C-alpha cells in the first residue's frame, strides 16, 4: 500500500496509542494527510508543540470532535482513506460508575464511526480492541466486545461500497495511562505498593509493538478479521520486584470487574481462527465472507485457549527491567538500575 497517497485519520489521536501512532506514521509512512481527531484541545495543543502541523506544507491536521457527534465525524471523514478507531472510555472503575457514558462513547460512538466511514467512502477501518473484550466481566470489556461485533458485521452493511472493517485486539500496553506501571512508579516513592493478587498474570506489549502491529494489519486485512498478536505474558509479582525493589507490598484483593488472568483468544473463537506467523487471525462466520482468505493459516487444535497464564512466552525480570527502563519508569529513582 502506498501510504504517500493516503489520507489517514485516528480517533482518540491524543491518547497514548494515538500519539505513538502519529509519531510512527509521520516518520515511516509519510501519508498525504494525517488527521488527529479528539475532544481535548489542550492535548492537541501539546501535540502541536511536539509534532507541528496545522500549517501549510504539513500533512498533520487537528480536528476537535467527539465520536458521539455523528455529524462531526461525517465532516472529519470527508476525503479520508484509512481510519484507525482508538477513541474510548477505558478506565474500568469509571465505566462501572458511569455506564451510560461508557455505552455512548464505546458503543454508539463505534456505530457513528461505522456509518460515517461507509457513507464517506473510507476504504479501510481498523478498530483497536482489548483482551477485556474476551469473556468480559466488566462493562468496559462488554462495550469493547459489542464494538468488535459491530465492526466485523459492518462489512455486510458496506456491501459493494468497498469500505472494509477489521479489528486489532491485544493486551496491556507498557506504560500507557492508567496502567499498573505508572501506578507502581508513583507508589514506590512512599515505600508501599498495592497488589491485588500475587498470582495475577497479564499479556504485555509495548506501544511501538502495538502501533507496528496495527499498521501491518491495515496492510494485510481483507475485512472481517480480528487480529491477535502473539505476545508474552508477565507475572505481576515480577513487575513489582523490578519497579519497586525493597518496597512493602500490600495485598488488596481483586477489584470488581478484574480477572486473575487475561484471555486474548477463547476456546469458542479458536474453532474459527488460524495461526499465521506472529499472530492469530479470528475469521468471521458470515455468509459474505470468502473462506479462501488466510488459507495459509494453520487451524488451531480442539480446546485451544490463548490466556496469559498458559502462554508459551514469558517475560523474565530482566526482560521487564529492559522494557520499563526504555519507557523511563526506572531512571527517575534508581538511575536505571534495580
- The catalytic residue positions are 132
Q: Shortest CA distance to 281 belongs to which of 199, 212, 223, 210?
A: 223
Q: Are 137 and 96 in contact (CB under 8 A)?
A: no
Q: Are 258 and 252 in contact (CB under 8 A)?
A: no
Contacts of 62 (CB under 8 A, 6+ apart): 35, 36, 44, 47, 48, 53, 54
Q: CA–CA separation, 79 vs 67, rounded Å?
A: 18
Alpha helices in 121-266 (DSSP H): 139-158, 180-187, 207-220, 236-243
- In whole angstroms, how far apart are CA 173 and each of 85, 208, 337? 17, 10, 22
Q: Shortest CA distance to 192 belongs to which of 253, 238, 252?
A: 252
Strand, coil or helix: what is 273?
strand
Amino acid at each position: 500500500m502506498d501510504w504517500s497517497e493516503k489520507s489517514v485519520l485516528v480517533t482518540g489521536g491524543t491518547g497514548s496509542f494515538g500519539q505513538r501512532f502519529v509519531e510512527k506514521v509521520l516518520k515511516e509512512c509519510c501519508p498525504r494527510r494525517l488527521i488527529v481527531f479528539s475532544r481535548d484541545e489542550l492535548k492537541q495543543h501539546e501535540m502541536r508543540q511536539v509534532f507541528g502541523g496545522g500549517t501549510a506544507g504539513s500533512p498533520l491536521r487537528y480536528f476537535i470532535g467527539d465520536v458521539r457527534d455523528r455529524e462531526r465525524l461525517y465532516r472529519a471523514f470527508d476525503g479520508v482513506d484509512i481510519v484507525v478507531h482508538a477513541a474510548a472510555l477505558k478506565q474500568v472503575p469509571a465505566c462501572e460508575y458511569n455506564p451510560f457514558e461508557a455505552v455512548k462513547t464505546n458503543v454508539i460512538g463505534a456505530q457513528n464511526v461505522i456509518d460515517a466511514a461507509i457513507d464517506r467512502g473510507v476504504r479501510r477501518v481498523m478498530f483497536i480492541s482489548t483482551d477485556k473484550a474476551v469473556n468480559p466481566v466488566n462493562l468496559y470489556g462488554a462495550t469493547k466486545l459489542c464494538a468488535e461485533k459491530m465492526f466485523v458485521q459492518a462489512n455486510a452493511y458496506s456491501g459493494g461500497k468497498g469500505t472494509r472493517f477489521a479489528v486489532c485486539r491485544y493486551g496491556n500496553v507498557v506504560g500507557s495511562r492508567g496502567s499498573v506501571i505508572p501506578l507502581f512508579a508513583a507508589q514506590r516513592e512512599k515505600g508501599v505498593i498495592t497488589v491485588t493478587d500475587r498470582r495475577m498474570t497479564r499479556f504485555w506489549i509495548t506501544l511501538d509493538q502495538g502501533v507496528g502491529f496495527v499498521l501491518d494489519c491495515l496492510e494485510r486485512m481483507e475485512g472481517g478479521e480480528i487480529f491477535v498478536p502473539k505476545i508474552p505474558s508477565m507475572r505481576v509479582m515480577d513487575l513489582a520486584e523490578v519497579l519497586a525493589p525493597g518496597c512493602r507490598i500490600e495485598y488488596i484483593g481483586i477489584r470488581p470487574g478484574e480477572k486473575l488472568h487475561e484471555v486474548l483468544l477463547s476456546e469458542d473463537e479458536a474453532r474459527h481462527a488460524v495461526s499465521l506467523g506472529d499472530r492469530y487471525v479470528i475469521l468471521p462466520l458470515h455468509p459474505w465472507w470468502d473462506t479462501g482468505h488466510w488459507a495459509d493459516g494453520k487451524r488451531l487444535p480442539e480446546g485451544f485457549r490463548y490466556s496469559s497464564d498458559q502462554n508459551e512466552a514469558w517475560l523474565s525480570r530482566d526482560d521487564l527491567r529492559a522494557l520499563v527502563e526504555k519507557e523511563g519508569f526506572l531512571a527517575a529513582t534508581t538511575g536505571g538500575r534495580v
